[in-house]
Amino acid sequence: MNTVNANYIDDIMGHLTEIDDYDTDFDYTNIDSDDENIVKEIISSKLKPNFEEMSDDYKGRFKLSLSYFLTTNKLDFEGLFYSNLVSFAPPSEPKYFFAWMWEEFFGNESYELANPENYKEVDDIYEPTRYGSSK
């Protein structure tokens, strides 16, 4: 049975916490977070480079986990967004942020899993660290 872990998503989201500390050229507090293009640009410029630096194993586990949670809606998307102290509000439908993340990371590939009941959720906060270090 395949396992999925929401901590991979949380791990990547953590890179948005850093934007206030290092990016003084843009005011993130006043963006329209329902504007798909603006949010996708932030995802592309602030999250995707960090994701691409991860090991192939990490990327596969992240992808499977994000796919599972987008398919099943078994994740508190709003809570996960706010728990990372992002300096802008989530979209009015918080799941959209994560769907847009999927699109930026994986293009037009569908995130729908055919048999999500064949996956087991694990909550291991250290797993992303074990699999995350460089390629």
Q: Looking at residue 135, what is its pLDDT?
A: 44
Higher pLDDT, 132 or 96: 96
Query: Percent of the chain scored above 70 by pLDDT?
Result: 89
Query: Percent of the chain scored above 90 by pLDDT?
Result: 73
Residues 56 and 131: their CA atoms lie apart, in Å, by: 9
Kindly indicate the confidence band of residue 133, based on its pLDDT and cuts at 50, 70 and 90. Answer: low
Per the structure block, which two tokens stand in for 67?
């796919």
Mean predicted confidence (pLDDT) in 65-76: 97
Q: Looking at residue 24, what is its pLDDT?
A: 52
Per the structure block, which two tokens stand in for 77?
């998307």
Residues 88 and 106: their CA atoms lie apart, in Å, by: 24
Continuous H helices in the chain: 7-17, 19-22, 36-42, 48-52, 56-72, 77-83, 95-106, 127-132
Q: What are the backbone angles phi and psi of residue 2, rounded to the nearest 5°?
A: -75, 150
Say if residues 51 and 59 touch (Cβ distance below 8 Å): yes
Instruction: Output DSSP code: residue 46.
Output: I
Per the structure block, which two tokens stand in for 75?
């994740």
pTM comes to 0.90
Q: Report the residue count for the chain.
A: 135
- 3-class state of residue 59 by DSSP: helix
Which span out of 14-18, 20-24, 61-65 was modeled with the highest average pLDDT? 61-65
Q: Is the pLDDT of residue 98 over 60?
A: yes
Q: Looking at residue 87, what is its pLDDT?
A: 82
Residues 129 and 114: their CA atoms lie apart, in Å, by: 28
